Structure 1
Amino acid sequence: MTTAAYIPAFPSVVAKAPAAPSQAAAAHFEAKLAFETDCADVWYATNHETKDFVLVDVRTPALYAAGHVPGAVNIPTRQLSEARLADYPADTLFVVYCAGPHCNGSTKAALKLARMGRPVKEMIGGLTGWIDEGLGLART
């Protein structure tokens, strides 16, 4: 017995705005990956590949000391400056994170780095995402 697919009279709230054409969707998602990375990729690159980026926790020193992603350096957003980054070659890729999706500190830091001409990506999820992935924290 064959059952015909049910086609509702009105589209759902998901389908109400049609999906972008595949080429446009591919361009969008490819561009998105140029701006961000995720916790699992940072963990994998740090533990299984040559780490070719500097992971920066942009929260306060007290929050960093209480728990941070292993291998991250602490440079609070307000302290990001050419002088503070002078020891890093101009082509150094910085990956920034803050507390999590409820915090825009990493977005502010990424913008600041980009305006300085530095390559930068934001680690989506931040510390909350890291913890949600079940990855451990370092404390100082």
Structure 2
Amino acid sequence: MSIVTEVAAASSAEALAHFSETLRFETDCWDTNNALSEGKADFVLLDVRSPESYAKGHVPGAINLLRGKIIASKLASYPADTLFVTYCAGPHCNGAARAAIKLAQLGRPVKIMVGGITGWLDEGFKLTTEIAELA
């Protein structure tokens, strides 16, 4: 018996429920890029890294908004059902999760783009320095 099988795998039904549920909370860099590239971005992409990091390069179309600045008045111009997708530096950063918590506390639909900038670059996608503003 290996360390992999030491703990039994979940049943297929449990695995289906678990993995289906994760997609309600996260998206990935490829799906985000596909939506942006095809003009089907039905979400607002938030880069929650520092303004300095954002200025050095970010996902095209992403808006820079630090977690501490995520407040109801900044989001007021967006309909209540607007989906926000957060990202930060990468898997070693919890900024996207912290921003997602803040958005959820404000009653906003939210997902995290897993991988962040690291994942974006790993997929071979380009960054931009063009600034995007809140609506």
TM-score bracket, shorter-length normalisation: over 0.9
What percent identity do the matched residue pairs reach?
56
Query: Normalised by the size of structure 1, how large is the TM-score?
Result: 0.90
Question: Which segments of 5 or more consecutive residues in structure 1 lack a partner in the other structure?
Answer: 1-10
In the TM superposition, what is the alpha-carbon distance from 1:49 to its structure 2 partner? 4.8
Is 1:94 aligned to residue 84 of structure 2? yes
Following superposition of structure 1 onto structure 2, how do residues 12-27 of structure 1 map, counting pairs within 5 Å?
12-27=2-17
Following superposition of structure 1 onto structure 2, how do residues 105-116 of structure 1 map, counting pairs within 5 Å?
105-116=95-106
- Please tell me the residue identity of whatever aligns with 1:82: A
- Please tell me the residue identity of whatever aligns with 1:16: E
Is 1:55 aligned to residue 23 of structure 2? no
In the TM superposition, what is the alpha-carbon distance from 1:123 to its structure 2 partner? 0.3
In the TM superposition, what is the alpha-carbon distance from 1:48 to its structure 2 partner? 1.9
In the TM superposition, what is the alpha-carbon distance from 1:107 to its structure 2 partner? 0.4
Which is greater in Rg?
1
Q: CA-atom RMSD, angstroms?
A: 0.8
Is 1:38 aligned to residue 28 of structure 2? yes
Q: What is the distance in 1 between the residues matched to 2:5 and 2:31?
A: 31
Secondary structure of the 2:23 match is helix
Q: Runs (4+) of structure 1 moved beyond 6 Å?
A: none
Q: What is the distance in 1 between the residues matched to 2:26 and 2:17?
A: 15
Q: What is the distance in 1 between the residues matched to 2:36 and 2:72?
A: 25
